[in-house]
Amino acid sequence: MNRSLLGCLLAASLVGAAAPACGNGPETVAPSATAVTADVSPQATATAADPGPKKLGTSAGVPTTARAPDFDPLTGATARFGTLGSSVYRIEVPESWNGELVLWAHGYAGTGSEVVVDSPPLALRRAIIADGTAWAASSYSENGYVPGIGADDTLALKRLFEREVGQPQRTYIAGLSMGGHVITLLLEYFPHEFDGALALCGVMTGIEQVDYVTSWALVAEFVSGRELVRGPGVSREQARESLEAIVATLGSVQNPSAAGLQFLSVIRVLTGGPRPFFLEGAGVAATTVFRNILSDVEEKLVPTLAASNEHTVYGIEPGLGLSPDQLNAGIVRKKADRAARNSTNHPDAVPSTGRITVPLLSLHNTGDLNVPISQEAEFRRRVEAAGAGDLLVQRAIRDGGHCMFTAAELTTAWKDLRSWVVDGQKPGGDDMLGDLTDVGRQFTNPIRRGDPGTR
């Protein structure tokens, strides 16, 4: 299968064990004989520009180092790279630049002290450069679940591009996973900076991504009958041991216990109901989300403090020995710290508003349980409520991974977004508010092996 290698992790929780940067995997691209590659040097270092009157991120104050950002340009393009404040960046400009720019927002990159900049997925990168469009990407100045810092650093990079390359005629913002949260923040707080947006497997509902992981943990705790140990003074080892006991009680996705069947049912209902590749997605998330439940075990960081399931209504399918009333009465409720879940103090620790003013095209895998497709439905409701429904097109891609898109799906999405922005040709999409049982046939290319419609 010709897949874009986007299927790494968004640690849907906050900070946890180091994970590979969510990007396109290794690229091997022959440098252009005519391309000029800048060296990282004091001369290439710039001071981060103020992106505007409001900073969107909150620093955890953790010192970082940066991996060298050098990379080889595609044929017919020039690579630029360097240091911007505490972040590093990459810029690629085609020789015949059309005056357009794509800013790329990467996903969660673990919690290590070294920040790393990723290029866009290779298929998307090639399509962007082939159109004559430039792109730029930031490492962000910190790792962890830091969409606000990602937004601040991405906008600072736009300012650097304007100074060193030129003022773009059009600017797009694109990103994956946590990068979707970066996108919604920038579109809400800096709407006049952008002309279009492309979200891939994106966090579209803001802090509710962390609410979802909170639900994952508390549902698992309830149906297993075992306590998940967290809080002040709790060690990571103590939390890990308690989580291992919960996971052992649930069993595997392939061989679940009675409690495991209850857990899978609750998560299925919570994330959009029956749909293609749900179980395959659960197999992926059983590793990644459970692992990242160990994030911030002392519950001290802003996203953890802001998370809540206080008003979440849980459901479960019949015949599993547990009623919805029993479920909702039994699950522990976590209230948000109102100082943390506060748009004045922490713009990136509240739900997204749906206020968009430019075309936004979104792709989401049906079986994704790291960032569930149900976020697309909720985002649609918010955009409609904000009166901007005509500016949102959403596509379901039938796959059980997180950010698993083929080259054809990525390049088609880019070309459709650009035609929408430049020529006013609005592309087609899927109804994310409807029944998802058989969604995604129109834009999945190709249909994956093992698709439930072909079994």
C-beta separation of 235 from 395 below 8 A = no
Torsional sign, CA 420, 425, 431, 436:
negative
pLDDT in tens, the chain (455 residues): 433 333 333 333 333 333 333 433 333 333 333 344 443 333 344 444 444 548 999 998 889 999 999 999 999 999 999 999 999 999 999 999 999 999 999 999 888 899 999 999 999 999 999 999 999 999 999 999 999 999 999 999 999 999 999 999 999 999 999 999 999 999 999 999 999 999 999 999 999 999 999 999 999 999 999 999 999 999 999 999 999 999 999 999 999 999 999 999 999 999 999 999 999 999 999 888 987 788 789 999 999 999 999 999 999 999 999 999 999 999 999 999 999 999 999 999 999 999 999 999 999 999 999 999 999 999 999 999 999 999 999 999 999 999 999 999 999 999 999 999 999 999 999 999 999 999 999 999 999 999 998 76
CA angle 335, 341, 347 (to 5 degrees): 165
Per DSSP bridges, beta strands 77-84 and 45-46 are parallel
Q: Count CB atoms within 10 A of the CB of residue 206.
A: 27
**Helices assigned H by DSSP within 165-230:** 178-189, 208-224
Of the candidates 322, 215, 314, 184, the residue with the CA atom closest to the CA atom of residue 261: 322
Kindly give, in sequence order, each residue whose CB lies less than 8 Å from that of residue 339, ignoring residues fewer than 6 positions away.
Answer: 305, 345
Residue 18, amino acid: A
The rounded distance, in Å, linking the Cα atoms of 453 and 455 is 6
For 197-221, how does the pLDDT look when each residue is reduced to its tens digit (9 = 90+)?
999 999 999 999 999 999 999 999 9
CA distances from 140 to 90, 102, 184, 268 (A): 12, 16, 17, 33
Domains of the chain as residue ranges with CATH: 42-207+346-423 (3.40.50.1820), 208-330 (no CATH)
**What is residue 293's DSSP assignment?**
T
